[in-house]
Amino acid sequence: MSEKVLITGASGFVGGFLVEEALNRDLDVYAAVRPTGNKEYLTDPRIKFLNLDFENVQNLAEVFNSHQFDYLIHNAGLKKSPRKEDYFKVNAEYLNNIIHALQSTDTSLKKITFVSSLAAYGPAEYTETGIVMEDSTPHPVTNYGRSKLKGEHYLQSQDSLPYVIIRPTAVYGPREKDLFTMYQFLNKRLDISVGLEDQKLTFIYVKDLVRVILDSTLAHKKNVAYFATDLEVHTSSSYNKAILKALGNKLALKLKLPITVMKVLGFASEKLGSLFGQYPALNVEKVNELEANSWICDTTALVKDLNYKPQYDLERGLAESIAWYKEKNWLK
């Protein structure tokens, strides 16, 4: 009999690929989606859908008791919101509720996996080594990162619950919508960068990330945390250049915007979005990330424990992503 895995946030960008990878490994997949969640990419008849009330510990406990999952991958999260309290509610308190629900049942969960973020530790310039490491003092620069860190602390404080924490850097690939904004600008021949110096950036292709998540979930090692990248360090210039290559070697007008200008634009963008009930991709939190000089992190443990070797470098990942966006008419 196949092992049961519950995947939360299954209708999101990473969640959809995570469900596909779990099915490819012949796991018995339960996908937790919101009633209003988009199931466009969750069409495999083997998927079993659940609607979980993360605010109701008793409801969660009843679900866990009745299904007896072997693994739980908590991928659900909130990346954008104008309200600080929303981040902490979704990214930390919901995980805390899951933990309490699990502890109130007689389930024998083999492992809970929390998909956190490099944002929980913040950029590398606040570290002594210039590299974010497991023993670095976290210095998140966004409410998203601070809320993810609080979620991590909830999980790490549990002695009896086997866990693994995955901290991906910027994730890209087909269906992704935030980094896609840059592809749109470059497709219109506008090469926009922020600040006078190049940022040091790290990325991971979504298909590599879901392999990391499943590999670490199914591995025997527990109560560990991993930073996840493609094992390369990029710059904002080389990143834009790689996108232009994937777009067909387009020429683009280079525009360097001072961070002060971006802060004004981010603030104005938020205010304008609020008039229409939206929270734009360019917001104050995003500008805080753009202001950081470096997002280099230590992936030594990931390589050592899981024998991790990314299948996608940036060039291959962008080529596949851009091809998908064009096929779906997201880019024209």
Q: Encode pLDDT of 241-254 as tens digits.
A: 999 999 998 889 99
- At 307 the pLDDT is 97
Taking the C-alpha atoms of residue 57 and residue 38, their distance in angstroms, rounded to an integer, is: 25
How does DSSP assign 262-291, residue by residue? HHHHHHHHHHHHHHTT---SS-HHHHHHHH
105, 65 Cβ separation under 8 angstroms: yes
- At 110 the pLDDT is 96
Task: Indicate the range of 78-92, 199-213, 254-268 predicted with least confidence.
Answer: 254-268
Rounded to two decimals, the pTM is 0.95
Q: Encode pLDDT of 27-70 as tens digits.
A: 999 999 988 888 999 999 999 999 999 999 999 999 999 999 99
- At 266 the pLDDT is 83
- At 225 the pLDDT is 98
Q: Which domains are present in the chain?
A: 4-177+202-232+295-312 (3.40.50.720)
- Displacement of CA 230 from its chain's centroid (Å): 14
Residue 108 has pLDDT above 90, yes or no: no
- At 121 the pLDDT is 98
Burial class (CB in 10 A: 0-12, 13-18, 19+), 22: buried
- At 257 the pLDDT is 84
Q: Which two tokens stand for residue 255?
A: 């525009």
Taking the C-alpha atoms of residue 210 and residue 214, their distance in angstroms, rounded to an integer, is: 6
Residue 157 has pLDDT above 90, yes or no: yes
Higher pLDDT, 14 or 261: 14
pLDDT bin (cut points 50, 70, 90) of residue 177 is very high
Average pLDDT, the chain: 94
- At 192 the pLDDT is 87
- At 137 the pLDDT is 97
pLDDT bin (cut points 50, 70, 90) of residue 255 is confident
Taking the C-alpha atoms of residue 318 and residue 332, their distance in angstroms, rounded to an integer, is: 16
Residue type, 297: C
- At 37 the pLDDT is 83
Task: Indicate the range of 82-86, 87-91, 297-301, 310-314 predicted with least confidence.
Answer: 82-86
pLDDT bin (cut points 50, 70, 90) of residue 107 is confident
Please report, rounded to a whole number, the percentage of residues in the chain having pLDDT higher than 70: 100
Higher pLDDT, 290 or 3: 3
Residue 274 has pLDDT above 80, yes or no: no
Identify the helix (H) or strand (E) that includes residue 325. Answer: helix 314-327
